[in-house]
Amino acid sequence: MLNSPECSFNLSLNDCTFKIKRDDLLPDFMGGNKVRKNSYILNSLPCLPDVIITNGGAESNHARVCALMAARLGIKCHLVLHGEEDKSDYLHGNKFFIESTNTEINYVNSHEIARTIEIAEKKYKSRDLDVFVIPGGGHSLDGARAYIAAVDELAEEPDYIIFPSGTGATHAGLLAGVKKKNWKTQVIGISIARQAERGVAAIDELYAPLCAELNIQHNVDDVIFLDEFTFGGYAKYNAELIKFIRELTSQTGVPFDPVYSGKALYGLTQLLEQSKIPAKSKVLFWHTGGLLNLQSARKVYDTNI
Protein backbone atom coordinates (compact mmCIF):
# COMPACT_ATOMS: atom_id res chain seq x y z
CA MET A 1 0.00 0.00 0.00
CA LEU A 2 3.02 2.32 0.06
CA ASN A 3 3.29 3.23 -3.62
CA SER A 4 2.66 6.86 -4.46
CA PRO A 5 1.54 8.13 -7.86
CA GLU A 6 4.07 9.40 -10.39
CA CYS A 7 2.43 12.06 -12.53
CA SER A 8 3.33 14.34 -15.36
CA PHE A 9 4.07 17.83 -14.12
CA ASN A 10 3.37 20.78 -16.35
CA LEU A 11 6.20 23.12 -15.60
CA SER A 12 7.11 24.90 -18.81
CA LEU A 13 10.72 25.70 -18.12
CA ASN A 14 13.95 25.36 -20.04
CA ASP A 15 12.58 22.81 -22.48
CA CYS A 16 12.90 20.00 -19.94
CA THR A 17 10.37 17.25 -19.27
CA PHE A 18 9.05 17.12 -15.75
CA LYS A 19 7.51 14.43 -13.62
CA ILE A 20 6.38 14.60 -10.04
CA LYS A 21 6.45 11.78 -7.50
CA ARG A 22 3.55 12.44 -5.15
CA ASP A 23 4.55 11.14 -1.74
CA ASP A 24 2.16 13.77 -0.43
CA LEU A 25 -0.58 11.42 -1.69
CA LEU A 26 0.55 8.33 0.21
CA PRO A 27 -2.82 7.14 1.54
CA ASP A 28 -2.01 6.58 5.20
CA PHE A 29 -1.68 9.12 8.01
CA MET A 30 -2.02 12.18 5.72
CA GLY A 31 0.96 11.21 3.59
CA GLY A 32 4.45 12.62 3.12
CA ASN A 33 7.94 11.16 3.45
CA LYS A 34 7.51 10.52 7.17
CA VAL A 35 4.94 7.84 6.35
CA ARG A 36 7.48 5.86 4.35
CA LYS A 37 10.21 6.28 6.95
CA ASN A 38 8.22 5.43 10.03
CA SER A 39 6.44 2.50 8.37
CA TYR A 40 9.84 1.09 7.42
CA ILE A 41 11.29 1.75 10.86
CA LEU A 42 8.44 0.00 12.71
CA ASN A 43 8.30 -2.86 10.21
CA SER A 44 12.02 -3.48 10.76
CA LEU A 45 11.59 -4.11 14.48
CA PRO A 46 11.55 -7.78 15.52
CA CYS A 47 8.32 -7.10 17.39
CA LEU A 48 6.02 -4.16 17.94
CA PRO A 49 6.92 -2.16 21.07
CA ASP A 50 4.32 -1.10 23.65
CA VAL A 51 5.41 2.51 23.38
CA ILE A 52 7.16 4.69 20.85
CA ILE A 53 8.79 7.93 21.90
CA THR A 54 9.96 10.53 19.42
CA ASN A 55 10.55 14.25 19.08
CA GLY A 56 9.95 17.05 16.63
CA GLY A 57 8.76 20.64 16.23
CA ALA A 58 5.31 21.66 17.42
CA GLU A 59 3.99 21.43 13.83
CA SER A 60 6.05 18.34 12.98
CA ASN A 61 4.85 16.05 10.19
CA HIS A 62 6.97 13.29 11.71
CA ALA A 63 5.17 13.65 15.05
CA ARG A 64 1.77 13.52 13.32
CA VAL A 65 2.69 10.33 11.48
CA CYS A 66 4.07 8.66 14.61
CA ALA A 67 0.97 9.59 16.62
CA LEU A 68 -1.47 8.28 13.99
CA MET A 69 0.57 5.17 13.24
CA ALA A 70 0.72 4.27 16.93
CA ALA A 71 -3.01 4.89 17.30
CA ARG A 72 -3.85 2.56 14.43
CA LEU A 73 -1.48 -0.09 15.72
CA GLY A 74 -2.96 0.20 19.20
CA ILE A 75 0.33 1.13 20.86
CA LYS A 76 1.18 4.19 22.92
CA CYS A 77 2.93 7.26 21.50
CA HIS A 78 4.82 9.81 23.55
CA LEU A 79 5.92 13.02 21.82
CA VAL A 80 8.50 15.50 22.97
CA LEU A 81 7.82 18.66 20.98
CA HIS A 82 9.77 21.89 20.90
CA GLY A 83 8.79 25.28 19.56
CA GLU A 84 5.64 27.25 20.08
CA GLU A 85 2.38 25.37 20.51
CA ASP A 86 -0.27 26.60 18.06
CA LYS A 87 -3.10 28.11 20.10
CA SER A 88 -5.38 28.83 17.15
CA ASP A 89 -8.95 27.60 17.40
CA TYR A 90 -8.89 26.38 13.81
CA LEU A 91 -9.00 22.59 13.40
CA HIS A 92 -5.90 22.70 11.26
CA GLY A 93 -2.34 21.57 10.77
CA ASN A 94 -0.58 18.60 12.28
CA LYS A 95 -1.76 19.60 15.73
CA PHE A 96 -5.36 18.62 14.96
CA PHE A 97 -4.30 15.13 13.96
CA ILE A 98 -1.79 14.65 16.76
CA GLU A 99 -4.41 15.68 19.30
CA SER A 100 -6.94 13.33 17.72
CA THR A 101 -4.92 10.48 19.20
CA ASN A 102 -4.22 9.57 22.82
CA THR A 103 -0.62 10.65 22.41
CA GLU A 104 1.11 12.05 25.47
CA ILE A 105 2.84 15.33 24.65
CA ASN A 106 5.55 17.27 26.45
CA TYR A 107 6.24 20.75 25.10
CA VAL A 108 9.85 21.61 25.97
CA ASN A 109 12.74 23.88 25.00
CA SER A 110 15.20 22.46 22.48
CA HIS A 111 17.89 21.84 25.08
CA GLU A 112 15.50 19.76 27.18
CA ILE A 113 14.59 17.26 24.44
CA ALA A 114 17.18 14.57 25.17
CA ARG A 115 16.59 14.63 28.91
CA THR A 116 12.80 14.56 28.52
CA ILE A 117 13.00 11.54 26.24
CA GLU A 118 15.27 9.82 28.75
CA ILE A 119 12.86 10.43 31.61
CA ALA A 120 9.89 9.16 29.57
CA GLU A 121 11.84 6.07 28.52
CA LYS A 122 12.69 5.26 32.12
CA LYS A 123 9.09 5.75 33.19
CA TYR A 124 7.75 3.21 30.68
CA LYS A 125 10.56 0.74 31.29
CA SER A 126 9.88 0.86 35.01
CA ARG A 127 6.35 -0.28 34.15
CA ASP A 128 7.84 -3.20 32.27
CA LEU A 129 6.81 -1.84 28.88
CA ASP A 130 8.80 -2.29 25.68
CA VAL A 131 9.91 1.14 24.53
CA PHE A 132 11.34 2.16 21.18
CA VAL A 133 12.75 5.63 20.61
CA ILE A 134 12.39 6.80 17.00
CA PRO A 135 14.97 9.47 16.16
CA GLY A 136 13.47 12.90 15.38
CA GLY A 137 12.40 13.13 11.73
CA GLY A 138 12.91 9.39 11.31
CA HIS A 139 16.61 10.14 10.85
CA SER A 140 17.97 6.59 10.94
CA LEU A 141 19.33 3.92 8.62
CA ASP A 142 15.91 2.32 8.41
CA GLY A 143 14.37 5.69 7.61
CA ALA A 144 16.86 6.02 4.74
CA ARG A 145 16.28 2.43 3.59
CA ALA A 146 12.63 3.36 3.04
CA TYR A 147 13.84 5.70 0.29
CA ILE A 148 16.17 3.14 -1.25
CA ALA A 149 13.01 1.05 -1.70
CA ALA A 150 11.04 4.06 -2.95
CA VAL A 151 13.45 4.58 -5.88
CA ASP A 152 12.35 1.16 -7.15
CA GLU A 153 8.87 2.57 -7.74
CA LEU A 154 10.10 4.98 -10.44
CA ALA A 155 9.03 4.14 -13.96
CA GLU A 156 12.31 5.24 -15.57
CA GLU A 157 15.72 6.76 -14.89
CA PRO A 158 15.50 10.54 -14.58
CA ASP A 159 18.50 12.82 -15.23
CA TYR A 160 17.75 14.74 -12.04
CA ILE A 161 15.83 14.10 -8.84
CA ILE A 162 15.08 17.32 -6.93
CA PHE A 163 13.46 17.33 -3.50
CA PRO A 164 13.35 19.12 -0.12
CA SER A 165 16.27 17.96 2.02
CA GLY A 166 15.88 18.25 5.77
CA THR A 167 17.35 15.99 8.43
CA GLY A 168 18.97 13.67 5.87
CA ALA A 169 17.37 10.21 5.72
CA THR A 170 15.30 10.92 2.61
CA HIS A 171 18.38 12.33 0.89
CA ALA A 172 20.69 9.46 1.91
CA GLY A 173 18.09 6.91 0.81
CA LEU A 174 17.35 8.47 -2.57
CA LEU A 175 21.05 8.79 -3.36
CA ALA A 176 21.84 5.23 -2.28
CA GLY A 177 18.76 4.00 -4.16
CA VAL A 178 19.91 5.64 -7.37
CA LYS A 179 23.48 4.33 -7.00
CA LYS A 180 22.17 0.86 -6.26
CA LYS A 181 20.39 0.89 -9.60
CA ASN A 182 23.58 2.07 -11.35
CA TRP A 183 21.72 5.13 -12.57
CA LYS A 184 23.54 8.31 -13.56
CA THR A 185 20.76 10.43 -12.04
CA GLN A 186 21.94 13.51 -10.16
CA VAL A 187 20.22 13.61 -6.78
CA ILE A 188 19.93 17.25 -5.70
CA GLY A 189 18.58 18.06 -2.26
CA ILE A 190 17.39 21.61 -1.70
CA SER A 191 18.05 22.44 1.92
CA ILE A 192 14.94 23.63 3.71
CA ALA A 193 16.91 24.83 6.75
CA ARG A 194 20.50 23.71 7.27
CA GLN A 195 23.72 25.17 5.96
CA ALA A 196 25.67 22.87 3.66
CA GLU A 197 28.37 21.73 6.07
CA ARG A 198 25.98 20.44 8.73
CA GLY A 199 23.49 19.16 6.17
CA VAL A 200 26.02 17.12 4.21
CA ALA A 201 27.51 15.67 7.39
CA ALA A 202 24.08 14.49 8.58
CA ILE A 203 23.30 12.91 5.21
CA ASP A 204 26.68 11.24 4.96
CA GLU A 205 26.32 9.82 8.46
CA LEU A 206 23.65 7.58 6.88
CA TYR A 207 24.87 7.48 3.28
CA ALA A 208 28.35 6.14 4.09
CA PRO A 209 27.13 3.01 5.95
CA LEU A 210 24.45 2.40 3.31
CA CYS A 211 27.18 2.43 0.64
CA ALA A 212 29.16 -0.12 2.64
CA GLU A 213 26.07 -2.29 3.05
CA LEU A 214 25.19 -2.13 -0.66
CA ASN A 215 28.75 -2.37 -1.99
CA ILE A 216 28.52 1.03 -3.60
CA GLN A 217 31.62 3.15 -3.98
CA HIS A 218 31.26 5.91 -1.43
CA ASN A 219 32.09 9.48 -2.37
CA VAL A 220 30.85 12.30 -0.20
CA ASP A 221 30.97 14.61 -3.24
CA ASP A 222 27.92 12.78 -4.56
CA VAL A 223 25.92 14.41 -1.78
CA ILE A 224 24.57 17.53 -3.47
CA PHE A 225 22.87 19.68 -0.87
CA LEU A 226 22.12 23.26 -1.91
CA ASP A 227 21.67 25.76 0.90
CA GLU A 228 20.85 28.90 -1.11
CA PHE A 229 17.07 28.51 -0.90
CA THR A 230 16.39 28.14 2.82
CA PHE A 231 14.67 31.55 3.15
CA GLY A 232 16.45 32.07 6.46
CA GLY A 233 15.87 28.72 8.17
CA TYR A 234 13.38 26.06 9.18
CA ALA A 235 9.77 27.09 8.51
CA LYS A 236 10.89 30.62 7.64
CA TYR A 237 9.48 32.20 4.51
CA ASN A 238 8.66 35.54 3.01
CA ALA A 239 6.05 37.03 0.73
CA GLU A 240 8.14 36.16 -2.33
CA LEU A 241 7.98 32.45 -1.49
CA ILE A 242 4.22 32.60 -0.89
CA LYS A 243 3.75 34.41 -4.21
CA PHE A 244 5.84 31.73 -5.91
CA ILE A 245 3.82 28.93 -4.28
CA ARG A 246 0.56 30.51 -5.40
CA GLU A 247 1.81 30.85 -8.96
CA LEU A 248 3.12 27.30 -9.20
CA THR A 249 0.03 25.79 -7.57
CA SER A 250 -2.09 27.70 -10.03
CA GLN A 251 0.05 26.55 -12.97
CA THR A 252 0.28 22.88 -11.99
CA GLY A 253 -2.78 22.12 -9.83
CA VAL A 254 -0.48 20.65 -7.15
CA PRO A 255 -0.23 22.01 -3.58
CA PHE A 256 3.10 23.30 -2.26
CA ASP A 257 3.95 24.57 1.19
CA PRO A 258 6.37 27.17 2.55
CA VAL A 259 8.31 24.72 4.77
CA TYR A 260 9.29 21.90 2.40
CA SER A 261 7.99 21.46 -1.16
CA GLY A 262 7.71 25.17 -1.92
CA LYS A 263 11.37 25.83 -1.10
CA ALA A 264 12.54 22.84 -3.12
CA LEU A 265 10.47 23.82 -6.12
CA TYR A 266 11.75 27.37 -5.85
CA GLY A 267 15.28 25.96 -5.88
CA LEU A 268 14.47 23.85 -8.93
CA THR A 269 13.17 26.83 -10.90
CA GLN A 270 16.30 28.82 -9.97
CA LEU A 271 18.58 25.99 -11.16
CA LEU A 272 16.67 25.93 -14.43
CA GLU A 273 16.85 29.68 -14.84
CA GLN A 274 20.58 29.61 -14.20
CA SER A 275 20.87 26.72 -16.68
CA LYS A 276 22.51 24.56 -14.02
CA ILE A 277 20.07 21.95 -15.24
CA PRO A 278 20.51 21.85 -19.01
CA ALA A 279 17.72 21.94 -21.58
CA LYS A 280 16.11 18.63 -22.58
CA SER A 281 16.78 17.07 -19.19
CA LYS A 282 14.36 14.59 -17.63
CA VAL A 283 13.61 16.07 -14.22
CA LEU A 284 11.73 14.35 -11.41
CA PHE A 285 10.47 16.50 -8.55
CA TRP A 286 9.90 14.37 -5.45
CA HIS A 287 7.04 15.89 -3.45
CA THR A 288 7.58 14.86 0.16
CA GLY A 289 4.43 16.43 1.60
CA GLY A 290 3.71 19.51 3.66
CA LEU A 291 0.10 20.54 2.92
CA LEU A 292 -0.68 20.69 6.64
CA ASN A 293 2.27 23.05 7.13
CA LEU A 294 0.76 25.35 4.52
CA GLN A 295 -2.64 25.14 6.17
CA SER A 296 -1.27 26.28 9.51
CA ALA A 297 1.01 28.99 8.08
CA ARG A 298 0.17 32.67 8.26
CA LYS A 299 0.44 35.47 5.76
CA VAL A 300 3.65 37.46 5.81
CA TYR A 301 3.94 41.05 4.77
CA ASP A 302 7.16 42.12 3.09
CA THR A 303 7.57 45.74 2.22
CA ASN A 304 10.20 45.05 -0.42
CA ILE A 305 7.98 43.09 -2.85
User: Nearest Cα to 17, choosing from 289, 294, 277, 292?
Assistant: 277
**Residue with smaller CB distance to a copy of itself, 9 or 132:** 9
**Residue with smaller CB distance to a copy of itself, 111 or 298:** 298
Cα dist. 246→86, 121, 155, 241 in Å?
A: 24, 43, 29, 9
Least Å distance between CB 257 and a copy of itself?
9
What is the contact surface with a copy of itself in residues (CB under 8 A)?
1, 5, 7-8, 10, 22, 25, 27-30, 68-69, 71-72, 88-93, 96-97, 99-102, 242, 245-247, 249-255, 258, 291-292, 294-299
Least Å distance between CB 297 and a copy of itself?
5
d(CA 283, CA 102): 42
Query: At 61, which amino acid appears?
Result: N
d(CA 199, CA 202): 5
Least Å distance between CB 291 and a copy of itself?
8
228 Cβ neighbours under 8 A, 6+ residues apart: 267, 270
| Bridge pairing between strands 6-8 and 160-165 | unpaired
Least Å distance between CB 294 and a copy of itself?
6
Contact yes or no for 293/61 (Cβ under 8 A): yes
* Active-site residue identified among 60, 165, 191, 261: 60
> Does the annotation mark 60 as catalytic?
yes
**Residue with smaller CB distance to a copy of itself, 2 or 216:** 2
**Residue with smaller CB distance to a copy of itself, 95 or 145:** 95
Q: Which residues pair with 104 in a beta bridge?
A: 78
Q: Catalytic site residues?
A: 60
